[in-house]
Chains A and B, each alone.
Chain A
Amino acid sequence: MLLNKETKDLQSKLTEYVRNGKLPLIKGAKQDKLHHYRRLVYNIIFNSLSNAYPISSGLLGEERWKELVDEFFINHNPQDPQIWSFPFELYEYVLKSDYSLKSGKSYLNDLLFFEWIEMEVYAMEDTEIDKYIQLAKKLEIKDNFVLNPYIKMFSFEYPVFRKEEKIEEMEKGKYFIICFRDIDTFKVHYLEVDALSMIFIENLYDNNGNLKISLDLTSELINAELEIKNIFPLIEVLNDKGIILGIRE
């Protein structure tokens, strides 16, 4: 390393200051101008996080949100070279720090993730999609589906995706969600499903859209013989939503 310790320390001092706001004496600096660096950096961080989490920041209220951002920016070292995806690190930080319990907002982990995942799915890199034909009215067991690749599946303790319910009154439980991007319009949508459907869809994705294998694996797991007719209504919904795109050619 060609850099002297003293020079490195000067750089660290300035960085520490822009992160914690406590102005140290910095050799050879115009002390009365340094606050602009703190202001400029802080605004970038604060705006990036507030834009990524408009609902969460609104629910916490201005003061608590600012406290959280301050705490996060002091304690956490941002790792992502791309600022658009850096807000995910706040979600990870909150998850690890038990902030949601301490703050009495037990739904916060789910809500932050919900807000983040929309961005992530919206931006997911494009991939080649196999050729497919329209789904027939009558499926055959040998069918293979082509699936929408822009998708994330997860479960929540709180139904934070339900826009019509008040978040503070939501009941704790187990909710299964699919977040996906429409391949034509690029819009991101959510679909709430039951546990059985989630298992089946996960099997579909794990097995490249193979209907027979997915049915067999799901049957095994629930200890019951599933047939195409049991699962057909779900397949129709998934096709209608643009999650199952069609049958592989």
Chain B
Amino acid sequence: MVGLGFRRDIHNEILDLDNDAKPDFVELAPENWMRFGGYWGSIFKKIKEKYPIICHGLSLSIGSPDDIDDEFLDELNLFFAKAEPLIYSEHLSYSKCDNAHIYDLLPIPFRQDAVNHIVERIKYVQDKLERKIALENVSYYSPIGAEMTEQDFLSQILEKSDCNLLLDVNNVYVNAFNHKYDAKEFLDNIPLDRVSYIHIAGHDKVEEDLIIDTHGQDIIDPVFDLFEWTIAKIKPVPVLLERDFNMPEIEVLIGEMNRIRQIAKSVWGDNYVVK
């Protein structure tokens, strides 16, 4: 299963895709579609008719010091009843603090108390939503007051809670570059058996020693290589091509999806099906 992020700026193109060019699923952010009627409500119905949906959230803020927003979880549940997502994933980061949403992903301090805090919140959210969530390893540009490695932080959270991992291969590549560690060693030291979903994307190098995870470029070969290396170690899962900015022609995205599909087939076999 290879999917594509559903972007409004290319919604007609995505809805027109068929046969070999058709993604196996689309990913969308519930926050951008909940409580929406009218034109976008009608487009949502078309998406639902044509594609399985995976929901990738933005505002849960699992790493926040602020309380989980129960009203928001209720809204999510209402939306999930309509979207029937295969997976609900979120980011292992925080986007709300001191009672303010900031609509972007900030890095959580890699610390023991943060691990415990997050593990408790994952349980709370999963109970409320009556489903498992998959948390994504995010890219970060600076650690904040770290007392353990990113690898230990992520592993502990996965081991102490029963959530799944959305493994963003590009983010592993970006973080390994930015923080000077070995991507494969990192991957070998996290519980890869918990991966339930994969992201792959492009990025931008903004400084000599800094890459930003922009989702605004084509995927580079080393990231494809890391993807191939990684999936040999795990069971088949859905894989998403993430592209949010600097949108190319739809053919370029189809080409990238095909390449992902080819790699997946070569590793996981022809009958690469996800259950």
CB-CB under 8 A from B65, the residues of chain A are: 1, 3, 7-8, 11-12
| With A7-B114, A30-B142: A122-B97 Cβ-Cβ less than 8 Å | no
| A:159-194 near B, CB below 8 Å | 181, 186
Residue of B nearest to A186 (CB): B39
> CB distance A81 to B31 under 8 Å?
yes
Is there contact, CB below 8 Å, between B103 and A15?
no
- CB of A15 within 8 A of CB of B97, answer yes
Which residue of B39, B120, B143, B146 is within 8 Å of A2 (Cβ)?
A: B120
Q: B102 to A7, Cβ gap below 8 A?
A: no
| Interface-centre pick from B102, B106, B206 (highest chain A CB count, 10 A) | B102
One digit per residue, 1 when the CB lies within 8 angstroms of any chain A CB and 0 when it does not, for chain B 41-60 equals 11000000000000000110
A27–B145 touching, CB < 8 Å: yes
Instruction: Assess A11 versus B31: contact at CB under 8 Å? Given A19-B100, A36-B210.
Output: no
- If the complex has contacts A7-B114, A123-B38, A125-B41, are A34 and B142 also in contact, measured as CB distance less than 8 A? yes
Interface magnitude class on chain A: 35 or more
A78 contact set on B, CB distance < 8 A:
100-103
- Interface range on chain B (Cβ under 8 Å from partner): 35 or more
User: Are the C-beta atoms of B103 and A41 separated by less than 8 Å?
Assistant: yes
- Whole-angstrom CA separation of A45 from B104 in the bound complex: 10
B110 to chain A, nearest CB (A): 9
A13 to B103, CA, bound (A): 17
A48 part of interface (Cβ distance < 8 Å): yes
Report the number of A-B residue pairs with Cβ-Cβ less than 8 Å.
Answer: 147
Q: How far does the alpha carbon of A73 sit from the alpha carbon of B46 in the complex, in Å?
A: 37
Q: Nearest Cβ in chain A — how far from B100, in angstroms?
A: 4
Q: In chain B between 67 and 113, which residues have their CB closer than 8 angstroms to a CB of chain A?
A: 69, 72, 75, 94, 97-104, 106-109, 111, 113
> Is B141 among interface residues, defined by CB-CB distance under 8 A?
yes
Q: How far is the CB of B115 from chain A (nearest CB, A)?
A: 9
Alpha-carbon distance A29/B106, docked complex (angstroms):
13
Task: Flag if A82 contacts B34 (CB, 8 Å).
Answer: yes
Given A86-B101, A125-B41: 16 more A-B contacts, CB < 8 Å: A2-B120, A3-B117, A7-B113, A10-B109, A10-B144, A15-B106, A30-B141, A30-B143, A34-B142, A36-B210, A40-B104, A41-B102, A41-B104, A45-B102, A123-B37, A150-B38
Interface, chain B (partner A; CB < 8 A): 31-32, 34-42, 58-59, 63-65, 69, 72, 75, 94, 97-104, 106-109, 111, 113-114, 116-117, 120, 141-146, 206, 210, 212
Q: What are 14 A-B residue pairs whose CB atoms fall within 8 Å in the complex? A: A11-B144, A15-B102, A18-B104, A29-B144, A36-B206, A40-B104, A40-B212, A45-B103, A81-B31, A122-B38, A125-B35, A126-B37, A126-B38, A181-B38
